[in-house]
Amino acid sequence: MREVAQACAVVVALLGSGLSSASGPAIERKHPRFDSLVPPDARLEEVAGGFEWVEGPLWSKSEGRLYLADIPRNRVVFWSEATGVRPFLERSGYTGAAAFTGREPGSNGMTFDRDGRLVICQHGDRRIVRLEKDGTRTVLADRFEGKRLNSPNDAVFRANGDLYFTDPPFGLPRTFDDPQKDLSFQGVYRVTPNGRVTLLTKELRAPNGIVFAPSEKTLYVANADAARPVYMAYDVRGDGTLGPGRVFFDASEWAKTDKGLPDGMKVDVAGNLFAAGPGGLHVFAPDGTHLGTFRTGRLTSNCGWGGDGRDLFITADKVLYRVRLTTRGF
């Protein structure tokens, strides 16, 4: 599924042509509104490589560095302009004594809580933990109604401190058919600061990336299901539960010709959605209009804001890209 990464320092942006570059990453402009977000001279720059499968980009403003999950290697690393890639946390997703027999033992999505503590989705240990200042790990969620979670994938905090997360089975050795799978469904959940875990929806077969609109009135969830590769939108009720889901964008046609499925997502200050999926990282206006695509030429997993807020980092297979934008991350 994951190709061998190719070293590429200089990339080409194709402006207005709607065609990707055969020689490397490219930028496709599909709508005039894209130009207000991505300057004409924008370029995808490869800033790090050599990962096995990189995910979960998370910028620490106080430290000036980007945290990354190398899932198959079961570790979290960080990257900065000054140091390049450096190790940070070993056994980040699976801490068991027995050998892990699946493909994705490590951690996946990461975020910071209001106190700046790192919160990690652990595939192998099937839970979400918070990394304390002394290095210990506090479990925030590992079960629902007494049954073990599948393998938490991605998470996002609401302003009130509630944590919303997705729980597909991709961290289980046999995924959907794994004999250790306790739950008969894949859910989107909320865990409150007091530790209460609530199921919000189980309608998606493979809930993956998750992010709030800036207003927090809409929650986006990517469905990484080959049979239904869609980005969903849910109205967030006053009590934090979700209204009925609606398809925000259907990527079925893209999935027929491009590698990849709906995955990690972020929003900018204007509410535009930056979403990994078939063919690269796609940009959608809040009304669902497809504005443009960053074509990496690789399976694209996620993205994250960094620097002064205008740097967009994109994780794709074994490579980390950066592109300088006009818009700013939220």
pLDDT of res. 17: 34
* pLDDT over 90 (residue 264): yes
267-318 pLDDT per residue, tens: 999 999 999 999 999 999 999 999 999 999 999 999 999 999 999 999 999 9
pLDDT of res. 298: 96
CA distances from 126 to 94, 158, 242, 289 (A): 8, 22, 24, 36
Average confidence (pLDDT) over 164-192: 97
Cβ 178 vs Cβ 186: under 8 Å = no
Comparing 16-20, 114-118, 191-195, the range with the smallest average pLDDT is 16-20
The Cα–Cα gap between 136 and 260 comes to 35
- For residue 249, what are the β-bridge partners? 231
Token pair, residue 69, equals: 């999950």
* pLDDT over 90 (residue 13): no
Average confidence (pLDDT) over 8-36: 61
Termini Cα distance of the chain: 32
pLDDT of res. 55: 98
* pLDDT over 50 (residue 89): yes
* pLDDT over 50 (residue 1): no
pLDDT of res. 8: 30
* pLDDT over 70 (residue 6): no
pLDDT of res. 24: 72
The Cα–Cα gap between 250 and 271 comes to 19
* pLDDT over 70 (residue 73): yes
- For residue 24, what are the β-bridge partners? none
The DSSP 8-state label assigned to residue 31 in this structure reads S
- Burial pattern 125-152, b for ≥16 Cβ within 10 A else e, equals bbbbbbbeeeeebeebbeebeeeebbbb
pLDDT band at 69 (very low <50, low <70, confident <90, very high): very high
* pLDDT over 90 (residue 111): yes
CB-CB neighbours of 1 under 10 Å: 8
Mean pLDDT of the chain: 93
* pLDDT over 90 (residue 99): yes
pLDDT of res. 7: 28
Average confidence (pLDDT) over 224-250: 97
CB-CB neighbours of 300 under 10 Å: 31
Task: Based on DSSP, count helices (H) and strands (E) in the chain, helices before strands.
Answer: 1, 27
Residue in this structure with the two tokens 């008969």, named with its chain if needed: 184
Amino acid at 255: A
Measured CA angle at 24 (ends 18, 28), to 5 deg: 20
- For residue 155, what are the β-bridge partners? 165
* pLDDT over 60 (residue 4): no
Kindly list the structural domains of the chain, giving each domain's residue range(s) and its CATH number in brackets, ordered by start: 26-324 (2.120.10.30)
316-326 pLDDT per residue, tens: 999 999 999 99
